Structure 1
Amino acid sequence: MVRADASDSIKVLLNATATHFGFRPTYRRVWLVKQKAIALIYGDWDESYNELPRWVLGVQLTMAGTVAVLRTSPVRVGGQLDESRAYFHRLFWTFPPCIEVFCHCKPLVSIDGTHLYGKYGGTLLVAIAQDGNSNILPVAFALVEGENAELWSFFLSHLREHVTPQSGLLVISDRHNGIKAALEASDGGWLPPSAYRAFCIRHVAANFALTFKGKDARRLLVNAAYAKTEVEFHYWFDILRSEDPAMCDWANWIEYSLWTQHCDEGRRFGHMTTNISECVKSILKGVRNLSVCSLVKATYGRLAELFVRKGREAEAQMGTGQQFSQHLVKCIEANLKTARCFTITVYDRDNSEFTVAETTSTGSFSLGSYRVSLASQTCDCGYFQAFHFPCPHALACCAYSRLTWEPYVHQVYRLSLVFSVYRMGFTPPIPEGFWPPYDGPTVIPDPNKRRAREGRPRSTRIQTNMDEADPNRPKRCGLCRQPGHTRRSCPQLGGAKHTRGHD
């Protein structure tokens, strides 16, 4: 089972053992056996760290231009420096196709971290881009010991230097203080106008839910964030205020340009969340369970498969004579099929400024009036400037003026550009026996990163409260969620706590 899918959970393996052998071992025993199985299939956990320096030399020989930055820390024995060994500290790596493709993707990058599940702890940091066909693409990785300002600075500095030197980029992330410090460093190259920052609304909503319970309140906040116009934003925000003014006070502490779509000046291209979860599920599934060198090797193989598959899809679409990505074509077709009626008024001789009165298909109900500027590619509905392709109102203006809508689509959606993303492929890796020799110190894992040898392994799932926490948030009862008391003294318990029976 581990060979087929290293991401199988301990619970799945435990139940399979009980089903096949009629014996139900402890959670800890299954966890230990899984680590041994991974070591047998993918190599010894400890020796895997010493393979990294040779892998760096081998992959750089395989693909010239590969960037791999390995950092180690000294080993001291009895106060003396052991020069023959060094602890693994951190590693940043990316490949030439990933560096090449980013200039053909949307001008934004999502960054996030996910914990490792193996014998030794650590965090995998990933930078994710997206092409014009809505395909996600990891472009850079780092293995670090955790998440803080220093480690994020290590990752982001190399990301900026080697992969994303373009100006005006948008960085989508959670509200982690380490990311904030790294992005706001004066010498990091991530300050406006070189780069801009936006928050993942999923993380913002999760932090919001820590203080304000209920799915309806969270839904109202998300709807306000997704609103494409100021009018629509205030509509949802006023409903949120009517529910509880404290909710709006909480949201107002965060600058609107960081979490709302109507204030992002079109930099998000409609993307409101980081794509780390989708990336891990579809591309990096199972790698977090592998030994460190096997994990790094897996990114090479998985990306090679991704480039081949998506390249073939783009090539097949180009063979049909299409000019734009499949994602854009579907969106345009949906906008063209909208069951509405438009009354259009032209306001200049160049056919670029219009007003569009929208009604239902029967004409019995007005849906509003919108100003459309084809010259500046804007519409009062906010759709045109948010997604960078024509909204239904702009399409109606093009049809009325007998203009084609293609010139008003951002070039990132052109199929030729999508195909360029996957034009540069990966080459087959050189066998390990032909890797150049490594004559440096033996790289070993830091024993302090070893998971506990006794007891059930501590959960390492990234909690949403890793983000900026509100120090003034009152503690609430775990039963009724009201402040001022604990579960043990909750009035709702009544006499229940005195009715507990004896074993």
Structure 2
Amino acid sequence: MNTQPTLYCSIPFFEQTFPEIPADSVDISNLRLDTGMLFKTKEELMEAVKDHSIRHARREYYVTESSKTKWKVLYKHSTEGHVKCNPSYGIKQVIQNVKDQTGYDVPYQKAWYSWKMTREIVYGTWESSVQKLPKYLGAIQKYNSGTIVEWKHKGFQQSTAAMDENQQVLPLAFAVVDEETYPSWKWFLQQLSRHVVRGRRGMCLTSECHGGLIKVVREGPDFVSPHGVHRYCLRHVCSNFNSSIKNVVLKDLCWQAGSEYQLRKFNRIMEEIKKQSVTAFAYLDQINKEKWTASHDGGWRCGILTTNMSECINGVLKGARRLPISALVEITLERTVHYFHVRAIKGQKMLQNNQLWTDFACKMFISWQQKAVEHTVTKYNQA
């Protein structure tokens, strides 16, 4: 007959004192810990906690306080590493991670609490983040030559990027503003003109068809003739077109028209759109063709029809936009630095190989060279 005491007695949840449960006759190797248990020695307690964490809790712990009369431990946060490596790590991932590691289904509320605490440990609270931001930005500006900091209210993140000679994204500027409105776009483009454009001519700005942004650009002068030009993202034009016309076939024709470089072929596609829908043709015809078509662009786009490069930056900063402001700035800096570091290594390799052009340009040249070899000459109108 088992004479061991019951380890799970009924204890009222809000009680401040708990009945003592003697552990004299408890088999340490098989017990489950419970509130109120007593042990003869500190060593026996340590052994019981160790066994319980391995056999039942299946979680690591660490000692926060140890003396002759007190031994305090806390479980390690298993989600901390995941949250630090991946800012977009969410509550569903927490639940699944615990399930995979322990086999237990964690309640959503408990997972949310753990996720919230871990994010505050790793990234700080919203209040502390705002207080920390001025010093952090000051340090970035001091120790990273060329860094320029201008203040605006916290909220929505805006960014701008270019394409380098190797057809890779080149981040230029980041901003955090209240929302995408005329005032915020005006402030952002003013900073872009002041610190990036700096009076250069021949600049081409490609953007979505946002009303506030279009109004700011028209006020210029950097992205209006004769200083520069403004072009629309073809993907956004097609998306807005489809929202109005609601026809996928016509949307595909819209893309074909916008991406066609030969005027003859562009006109043929537009005639096909007109044949299928006069309304769809009228919608596209009222948009300035220089803004959205490659055939009327004049070479300003350099083959870049969309703002997909900005989406690449969004992918690099995935999840960071939901973090407290200082953490957002820190991750933006760290990942951008890593982005440049990887490309610097690639650039050094090209130089060591004595390449005349970038990898992208070399591939294009080889492709065209192979095509040129296949060309033939046909004689006609000769005696």
* Superposition TM-score, scaled by structure 1 size: 0.55
- 2:257 aligned with 1:176: no
Partner of 1:50: 131
Whether 2:358 is the aligned partner of 1:277: answer no
Write the distance in 1 (CA, Å) between the matches of 2:197 and 2:111.
Answer: 42
Are residues 1:249 and 2:332 paired? no
User: How many angstroms does 1:266 deviate by?
Assistant: 0.7
Distance 1:57 1:313, change over 3 A: same
Q: Which residue of 1 aligns with 2:345?
A: 312
In structure 2, C-alpha distance between the alignment counterparts of 1:316 and 1:307, rounded to whole Å: 14
> Could you tell me which of 262, 265, 268 is aligned with 1:232?
265
1:261 equivalenced with 2:294 (yes/no): yes
2:191 counterpart of 1:158: yes
Deviation of 1:234 after TM superposition, in Å, equals 1.4
| Pairing partner for 1:25 from 108, 126, 131 | 108
CA distance in 2, matches of 1:32, 1:22: 15
- Give the equivalent residue in structure 1 for 2:229: 196
Matched, 1:59 2:92: no
Q: Give secondary structure in 1 for the equivalent of 2:296.
A: coil
SS of structure 2 residue aligned to 1:128: strand
Q: Which runs of 5+ in 2 are unaligned?
A: 1-81
CA separation of 1:305 and 1:344: change in aligned 2, threshold 3 A: farther
The one of 119, 130, 153 equivalent to 1:38 is 119
Partners of 1:258 and 1:31 in 2: CA distance = 47
Measured in 2, the distance between the counterparts of 1:183 and 1:11 equals 42
Query: What are the Cα deviations for residues 367-420 of structure 1, in whole angstroms up to 9, with x where unaligned?
Result: xxxxxxxxxxxxxxxxxxxxxxxxxxxxxxxxxxxxxxxxxxxxxxxxxxxxxx
CA contact (8 A) 2:321 2:328 kept: yes
Using the size of structure 2 for normalisation, the TM-score is 0.71
- Matched residues in 2 for 1:307 and 1:128: separation? 13
**Cα 1:344/1:319, change in 2 over 3 Å:** farther
Shift of 1:14: 4.8
For residues 300-340 of structure 1, the C-alpha deviation after alignment (integer angstroms, 9 at most, x for no partner) is 22222222211110111122221011111111222222384
Task: Give the superposition deviation at 1:149.
Answer: 0.6
* Aligned-partner SS, 2:377: strand
Match of 1:130 among 136, 159, 163: 163
How far apart are 1:56 and its partner, in Å? 2.4
Instruction: After TM superposition, give the deviation of residue 241 of structure 1 in Å.
Output: 1.9
Q: 1:65 to 1:148 in 2, by over 3 A?
A: same
Q: 1:260 to 1:39 in 2, by over 3 A?
A: same
Task: List aligned pairs for 1:287-326, cutoff 5 A.
Answer: 287-326=320-359
Counterpart CA distance in 1 for 2:127 and 2:369 is 59
Aligned to 1:106: none
In 2, Cα distance between equivalents of 1:10 and 1:266: 48
Give the deviation of 1:161 after TM superposition. 0.4
Matches of 1:10 and 1:249, distance apart in 2: 48
Is the Cα contact below 8 Å between 2:257 and 2:293 reproduced in 1?
yes
- Distance 1:194-1:24 versus aligned 2 partners, 3 A rule: same
Contact 2:203-2:222 at 8 Å conserved across structures: no
Question: Would you say the 8 A contact 2:95–2:106 is kept in 1?
Answer: no
- Distance in structure 1 (CA, Å) of the matches to 2:257 and 2:176: 36
> Are 2:212 and 1:212 equivalent residues in the alignment?
no
Q: Which residue of 1 aligns with 2:9?
A: none
Counterpart Cα distance in 2 of 1:32 and 1:140:
35
Could you tell me how far 1:58 is from its partner in structure 2? 1.3
- Paired AA for residue 124 in structure 2: G
Secondary structure of the 1:267 match is: coil
Give 1:68's match in structure 2, choosing from 146, 149, 153. 149
The 1:33/1:167 distance shift into structure 2, 3 A limit, reads farther
Following the alignment from structure 1 to structure 2, what is the Cα–Cα distance between the partners of residues 295 and 57? 15
Distance in 2 of aligned mates of 1:211 and 1:152:
25
Hey, what's the Cα distance between the residues in 1 that align with 2:181 and 2:243? 22
Higher helix content, 1 or 2? 2
Contact kept, 8 Å, 2:91 with 2:108, in 1: the verdict is no
1:341 equivalenced with 2:369 (yes/no)? no
Per-residue displacement from partner, 1:230-253 (whole Å, max 9, x unpaired)? 011112222222221211111112
Q: Take 1:177 and 1:6, find their aligned partners in 2: how far apart are those partners?
A: 32
- Tell me the distance in 2 between the aligned counterparts of 1:271 and 1:40: 42
Distance 1:30 1:258, change over 3 A: farther
Structure 1: where are the runs of 5+ without partners? 72-88, 91-121, 346-356, 358-503
RMSD: 2.4
Contact 1:39 1:291 (8 Å CA) reproduced? no
* Cα pair 2:156 2:176 within 8 Å, conserved: yes
CA distance in 2, matches of 1:18, 1:3: 20
Write the distance in 1 (CA, Å) between the matches of 2:145 and 2:359: 33
- Counterpart Cα distance in 2 of 1:214 and 1:39: 47
1:413-460, CA deviations, whole angstroms, 9 ceiling, x for partnerless residues? xxxxxxxxxxxxxxxxxxxxxxxxxxxxxxxxxxxxxxxxxxxxxxxx
Distance 1:154 1:325, change over 3 A: same
User: 1:286, 1:254 → 2: CA distance?
Assistant: 35
- Per-residue deviation, 1:212: 2.3
Give the superposition deviation at 1:342.
Answer: 4.0
Give the partner amino acid of 1:56. L
**Cα displacement (A) at 1:62:** 0.8
Check the 8 A contact 1:60/1:66 in 2, yes or no.
Answer: yes
Q: Which moved more, 1:1-10 or 1:124-133?
A: 1-10
Superposed, 1:99-114 pairs within 5 Å as none
Match of 2:56 in 1: none
Q: Secondary structure at the match of 2:223?
A: coil
Change in 2 beyond 3 A, CA 1:285/1:62: same
SS at 1:59 equivalent: helix
CA distance 1:33–1:194, shift in 2 (3 Å): farther
Whichever residue aligns with residue 217 of structure 2, its letter is L
The partner residue of 2:89 within 8, 31, 38 is: 8
